[in-house]
């Protein structure tokens, strides 16, 4: 399969905060030597992983390899036994999920976690509002300190910029438009098909104006055409300056979309690199085909 | 030393019965995932049945025991499993909770219809005469029997769980019902066994308890709170810890009787009775939170549309006009009933905020209302707007304070903690002579409006209708606001809320404070309407009944709150015309909630017609909307 280059698409950014404020290739989130144990099961063992702004990083592996656990560690829903998590160079290992979100981590869930009794629009709005709320707090704190440019809010360590004009309503409208959900805005999400519901989760994550977007199997439940559109959207988001991490079982989507791929198996990293290299890696093939050893005899 | 031993013996005996009832709760919960709030009511029915057979009909003790324990209790467990519990398998914790609370009301209603609560009944112990001296303490035959039975139950349960096929399956189903099904055992059969066993243990505990305390419907039903406490010590799955919890509670209670300082007694006369509630509350807070059964995706097809501002103002105006007009036509009794109903409606509105939107179940709402009425009566002469304001503020603060320790609790444990709070507050606060005086009630007045005092019943009804209207508009406005979305969001998915940056704790705390403030307002109005309020107006059963009525009528709607409130006021009036059944309120509510609870989406969302309409609407949206169609087209082209 041909490798598509990560061309910048120049679409109007959803993530205005991310646009231009980061250099492509700079690691946005770094997980270092992560260990997680559930009872007798070592779910993650000395796993290191990082994702750079401007790139889509794939995270693949057989079921139970520890991908979602790694997401939980990255977002703060699971505390690691050992290891460190850094966000834009800042240590966040002991920080709770909602504070990490304020620093720019957003995610979607493999098992859908939508706000089922709200509409599509409200699902996105509630995230945008939570985000606006803390942005205003940042402004207040900035003004108190006599900060010349309050939008470089000290609450987020001056890491991100926000244009003054951005209001919740326009953010929601823009995200609805970009994810193609405008027509479903007033629908309650509990009636939506799974594929569309996953799109709503993605839209909701974008409403928090993330620097790092962790997408957990966003493609499952989508047909090929929709999956392909999703792939382009993820690449666009990356080219806007976001660090996108994609967990996915659809290998076609992963290979087309990702700039780099990391493979997990039984809680350890077994390969990492460009999609084409990873694909031909014998260890990866063994993990996926279930062969006992790496070396497959030629005879 | 002798006194200590004697107290300890009594404590151990009580503890043994708590342990038996708690082990029944644990067995049922562990095998079916349903926490049976009606467990105590099952024991109560068994104790009364045993009285009926052995005392009233004069059957031999052993035969009566056999009929109750080996026939009635298992059949009851079987019926409940088949008709109720099986439908609750994949239901949310809240729905399971409501249904078993409903079952409790039904059993209490049936019992009070069959056995008139006014009649005094005595249930003798098995060997009331014989006693032996052990270590210098007199131990009666009944006491020895109770302890021996508790030990026998413990040994039998241990044997069953460790060494029988069914027992192994029961232990397996706790871990993973689906896996068990794949291994060839039927989770339904296991759950059925769990309900039968649980019911038998409840019955045994009821029969043993009745001679120790009194053969009274409410007392026996609520004694299960002690069982809840023991079961929570075992975190609803560990039987040895549950037995230890029961024994600990019995001992603490008994020692408190002997050693609690007299000064405490005079200030808080109800403190001893309230000990189990305090124990339960403390255990819930101290023990590490075990993850309760995963709920899975809660079916929310019953979620109604949220009315806009114009719509809600129009509805409120219509209600006020209706009240003003109807007031001239209705009889005094009808006006009084509707006025009461409007106040109950405002209480129900506070539950719409808390339970409907934020998903927090509280069984203590009338406790807060009672505090509101009390504050109203005590502040500024007992009938001013300042008093109303004070009631609202005090209750909001109280609500937040009660919620503060309970913030880490959710679902079932939260409901249990509010139950403990409500019952504890009844014993310590409402029943306390220092609070409502020795007469048991205080006078509360109505605040004047623009200097004119509201004296006629007609005007009062119109005022209350306006108050309900304003409260309704406010509740809907909150739901449409950013705060309302936060309440609903944190209820729907706490994990997703955290990852979009919402603080779950603040949101919960706000929900409790707002809801309690509204309940305080209702309390002030209730006091003004009734003229005087007393200890009996704010009991746990009333809180439960109003909540369940609201669940039947629609826990997320303002109209549901209105209907529930009016119904709560009207049912007792109806009762006075129906003599062949007592406790009509409880029976109607219980049966209603059991019926509604069996349908996964509530009354409306479950009808096939509704499903078809919904499907057609969605299909239309997907194909007819030009933008969506464009998106679909774009996707196809990409």
Task: Please write the tens of the pLDDT for every residue from A103-142.
Answer: 889 989 888 888 888 899 999 999 998 877 666 655 555 4
Please tell me which residue, B129 or A54, carries the higher pLDDT value.
A54
Let me know whether B448 and B406 are in one domain: yes
| DSSP states along B183-194 | TT--HHHHHHHH
- Quick check: is A260 in a domain? yes
Chain B contact present for A116, CB below 8 A: yes
Domain that holds residue A220: 27-289
Asked if B635 and A102 come within 8 Å (Cβ–Cβ), the reply is: no
Strand runs labelled E in chain A: 27-38, 41-52, 56-60, 82-87, 90-91, 105-107, 212-216, 243-247, 260-265, 268-273
Do residues A199 and A181 lie in contact, with contact meaning Cβ atoms separated by under 8 Å?
Answer: yes
Residue A69 belongs to a domain with what CATH number? 3.40.50.300
Which range among A187-191, A261-265, B269-273 shows the weakest confidence by mean pLDDT? B269-273
Q: Are residues B244 and B366 in the same domain?
A: no
3-class secondary structure for B15-71? HHHHHHHHHHHHHHHHHHCCCCCCHHHHHHHHHHHHHHHHHHCCCCHHHHHHHHHHH
Judge whether B483 lies within some domain: yes
- A3 falls within a domain: no
Residues B395 and B457 in one domain: yes
The pair of three-digit structure tokens given for residue A1, joined into one six-digit string: 């399969």
Distance (Å) from the C-alpha of residue B521 to the closest C-alpha of chain A? 28
- A75 and B499: CB-CB below 8 Å? yes
User: Could you tell me the two tokens for B186?
Assistant: 């039927």
> What domain count does chain A have?
1
Asked if A202 is an interface residue toward chain B (Cβ–Cβ < 8 A), one would say no
Tally A–B CB contacts below 8 A. Answer: 127
Which chain A residue has its CA at the smallest distance from B358's CA?
A117
pLDDT of residue B390: 93
The answer to the question of residue B183 being in a domain is yes
Report if residue B121 sits inside a domain. no
CA distance B583 to A229: 62
B276 found inside a domain: no
Is B299 within the bounds of a domain? no
Which residues of chain B are within 8 Å of residue A232 when distances are taken between CB atoms?
638
Residue B326 forms part of a structural domain: yes
Average pLDDT over every residue of A23-40: 81
**Are B252 and B319 part of one and the same domain?**
no
Mean pLDDT of chain B: 82
Place of tokens 């509409």: A119
Q: CB-side exposure of A281: number of CA atoms within 13 Å?
A: 19
- Would residue A272 count as lying in a domain? yes
Q: Do A205 and B495 touch (CB under 8 A)?
A: no
Q: By C-alpha distance, which of B147, B160, B208, B197 is closest to B23? A: B197
Range(s) of the domain holding residue B335? 309-575
Helix, strand and coil in chain A, % to nearest 5: 35, 20, 40
The distance of Cα A213 from the centroid of its chain, to the nearest Å, equals 2
For every residue of B217-265, DSSP letters joined together read HHHHHHTHHHHHHHHHHTTTT-HHHHHHHHHHHHHHHHHHHHHS-HHHH
Residues B247 and B339 in one domain: no
Residue labelled with tokens 């061309």: A7
In a domain? residue A21? no
**Percent of chain B scoring above 90 in pLDDT:** 24
What's the burial of A226, exposed, middle or buried (CB within 10 Å: 0-12/13-18/19+)?
buried
Whole-number pLDDT of residue A145: 47
Same domain, B95 and B49: yes
Asked whether B36 and B99 are in contact (CB, 8 A), the reply is no
Q: Considering the domain boundaries, does residue A158 fall inside one?
A: yes
Contact B628, B620 (CB under 8 A): no
Among the partner-chain residues A112, A118, A228, the one whose CB lies closest to the CB of B638 is: A228
Nearest CA in chain A to B504: A98
CA A150 and chain centroid, separation: 27
Best of B501, B601, B612, B633 to mutate (most A CBs within 10 Å, chain A): B501
Nearest-angstrom CA–CA distance, B253 and B446: 43
- Residue A68: its chain B contacts at CB < 8 A? none
Residue A156 covered by a domain: yes
Of B482, B492, B629, the CB nearest to A117: B492
Is residue B44 very low, low, confident or very high in pLDDT (cuts 50, 70, 90)?
Answer: very high
Token reading at B338: 């509707």
Looking at the fold, whether B337 and B481 belong to one and the same domain comes out as: yes
Interface of A with B in 140-169 (CB under 8 A): none
Q: How many domains does chain B have?
A: 3
* B47 plus B180 within the same structural domain: yes
User: Is position B565 within any domain?
Assistant: yes
Identify all chain B residues contacting A109, using CB atoms and an 8 Å cutoff: 495-496
Residues listed for chain A: 299
Element (H, E) at B403: helix B385-406
Residues 45-84 of A with CB under 8 A from B: 75-77
- Give tens-digit pLDDT for A61-104: 888 888 888 988 998 888 899 999 999 888 988 888 878 888 88
Q: Do B298 and A116 touch (CB under 8 A)?
A: yes
Domain annotation covers residue B632? yes
Q: Are residue B139 and residue B210 in the same domain, yes or no?
A: yes
Residue B459 shares a structural domain with residue B507: yes
* Residue A195 near chain B (CB below 8 Å): no
Same domain? For B514 and B389 the reply is: yes
* Residue of chain B minimizing CA distance to A127: B500
CATH number for the domain that contains residue B318: 1.10.3470
B498 with A76: Cβ contact below 8 A: yes
CA distance B185 to A222: 36
| Residue A92 domain-assigned (yes or no) | yes
Q: Is B477 helix (H, G, I), strand (E, B) or coil?
A: helix
Distance CA B22, CA B1 (A): 30
Q: Is the pLDDT of residue B631 over 70?
A: no
Contact check, Cβ <8 Å, A102/B631? no
Alpha-carbon distances of B567 from A258, B361, B531, rounded to whole Å = 61, 21, 22
Q: Residue A51, SS3?
A: strand
């Amino acid at each position: 399969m041909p490798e598509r280059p990560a061309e910048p698409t120049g679409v109007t950014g959803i993530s205005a905060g991310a646009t231009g404020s980061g250099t492509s290739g700079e690691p946005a989130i770094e997980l270092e030597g992560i260990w997680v144990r559930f009872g007798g099961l070592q779910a993650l063992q000395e796993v290191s992983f990082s994702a750079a702004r401007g790139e889509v990083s794939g995270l693949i592996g057989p079921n139970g390899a520890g991908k979602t656990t790694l997401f939980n560690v990255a977002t703060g829903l699971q505390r690691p036994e050992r290891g460190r998590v850094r966000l834009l160079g800042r240590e966040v290992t002991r920080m709770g999920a909602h504070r990490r979100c304020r620093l720019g981590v957003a995610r979607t869930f493999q098992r859908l976690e939508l706000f089922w009794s709200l509409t599509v629009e409200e699902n996105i709005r509630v995230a945008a509002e939570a985000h606006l709320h803390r942005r205003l707090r940042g402004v207040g704190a900035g003004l108190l300190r006599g900060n010349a440019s309050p939008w470089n809010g000290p609450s987020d360590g001056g890491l991100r910029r926000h244009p003054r004009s951005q209001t919740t309503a326009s953010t929601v409208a823009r995200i609805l438009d970009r994810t193609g959900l405008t027509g479903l805005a007033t629908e309650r999400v509990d009636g939506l098909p799974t594929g569309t519901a996953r799109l709503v989760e993605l839209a909701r994550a974008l409403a928090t104006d993330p620097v790092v977007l962790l997408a957990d199997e966003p493609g499952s439940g989508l047909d090929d055409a929709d999956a392909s559109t999703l792939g382009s959207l993820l690449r666009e988001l990356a080219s806007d300056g976001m660090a996108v991490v994609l967990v996915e079982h659809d290998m076609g989507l992963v290979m087309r979309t990702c700039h780099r791929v990391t493979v997990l198996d039984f809680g350890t990293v077994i390969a990492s690199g460009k999609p084409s290299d990873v694909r031909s890696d014998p260890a990866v093939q063994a993990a996926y085909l279930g062969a006992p050893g790496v070396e497959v005899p030629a005879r | 030393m002798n006194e200590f031993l004697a107290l300890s013996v009594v404590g151990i005996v009580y503890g043994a019965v708590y342990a038996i009832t708690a082990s029944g709760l644990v067995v049922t919960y562990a095998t079916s995932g349903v926490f049976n709030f009606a467990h105590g009511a099952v024991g109560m029915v068994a104790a009364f049945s045993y009285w009926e057979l052995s005392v009233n009909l004069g059957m031999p003790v052993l035969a009566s025991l056999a009929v109750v324990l080996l026939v009635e209790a298992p059949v009851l467990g079987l019926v409940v499993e088949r008709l109720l519990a099986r439908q609750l398998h994949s239901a949310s914790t809240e729905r399971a909770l409501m249904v078993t609370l409903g079952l409790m009301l039904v059993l209490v209603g049936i019992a009070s219809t069959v056995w008139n609560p006014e009649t005094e009944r005595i249930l003798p112990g098995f060997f009331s005469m014989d006693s032996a001296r052990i270590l210098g303490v007199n131990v009666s035959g009944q006491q020895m029997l109770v302890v021996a039975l508790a030990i026998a139950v413990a040994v039998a349960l241990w044997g069953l769980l460790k060494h029988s096929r069914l027992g192994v399956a029961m232990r397996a189903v706790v871990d993973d019902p689906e896996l068990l099904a794949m291994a060839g055992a039927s989770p339904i059969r296991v759950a059925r066994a769990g309900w039968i066993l649980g019911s038998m243990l409840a019955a045994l505990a009821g029969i043993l308890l009745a001679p120790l305390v009194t053969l009274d419907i409410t007392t026996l039903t609520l004694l299960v709170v002690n069982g809840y406490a023991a079961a929570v010590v075992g975190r609803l799955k560990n039987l040895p810890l549950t037995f230890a919890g029961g024994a600990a509670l019995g001992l603490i209670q008994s020692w408190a009787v002997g050693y609690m300082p007299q000064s405490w007694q005079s200030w808080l006369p109800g403190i001893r009775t309230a000990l189990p509630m305090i124990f339960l509350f403390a255990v819930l807070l101290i023990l590490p939170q075990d993850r309760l059964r995963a709920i899975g995706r809660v079916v929310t097809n019953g979620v109604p549309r949220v009315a806009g501002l114009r719509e809600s103002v129009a509805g409120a105006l219509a209600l006020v006009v209706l009240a003003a007009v109807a007031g001239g036509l209705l009889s005094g009794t009808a006006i009084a009933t509707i006025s009461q109903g409007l106040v109950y409606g405002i209480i129900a509105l506070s539950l719409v905020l808390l339970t409907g939107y934020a998903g927090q179940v509280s069984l203590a709402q009338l406790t807060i209302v009672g505090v509101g009425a009390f504050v109203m009566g005590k502040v500024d002469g007992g009938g001013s707007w300042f008093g109303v304001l004070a009631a609202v503020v005090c209750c909001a603060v109280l609500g937040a304070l009660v919620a503060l320790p309970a913030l880490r609790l959710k679902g079932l444990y939260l409901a249990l903690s509010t139950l403990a709070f409500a019952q504890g507050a009844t014993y310590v606060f409402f029943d306390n002579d220092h609070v409502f005086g020795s007469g048991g009630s205080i006078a509360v007045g109505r605040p004047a409006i623009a200097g004119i005092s509201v004296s006629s019943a007609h005007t009062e009804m119109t005022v209350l209708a306006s108050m309900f209207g304003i409260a309704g508009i406010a509740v809907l406005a909150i739901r449409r606001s950013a705060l309302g979305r936060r309440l609903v969001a944190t209820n729907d998915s706490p994990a997703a809320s955290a990852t979009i940056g919402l603080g779950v704790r603040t949101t919960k705390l706000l929900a409790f404070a707002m809801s309690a403030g509204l309940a305080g307002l209702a309390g002030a109005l209730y006091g003004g309407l009734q003229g005087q309020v007393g200890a009996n107006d704010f009991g746990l059963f009333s809180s439960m009944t109003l909540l369940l009525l609201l669940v039947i009528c629609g826990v997320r709607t303002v109209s549901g709150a209105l209907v529930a409130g009016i119904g709560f006021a009207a049912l007792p009036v109806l009762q006075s015309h129906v003599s062949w059944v007592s406790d009509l309120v409880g029976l109607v509510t219980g049966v209603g909630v059991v019926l509604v609870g069996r349908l996964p989406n509530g009354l409306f969302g479950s009808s096939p017609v509704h499903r078809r309409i919904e499907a057609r609407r969605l299909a239309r949206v997907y194909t007819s909307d030009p933008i969506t169609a464009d998106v679909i087209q774009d996707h196809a082209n990409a």
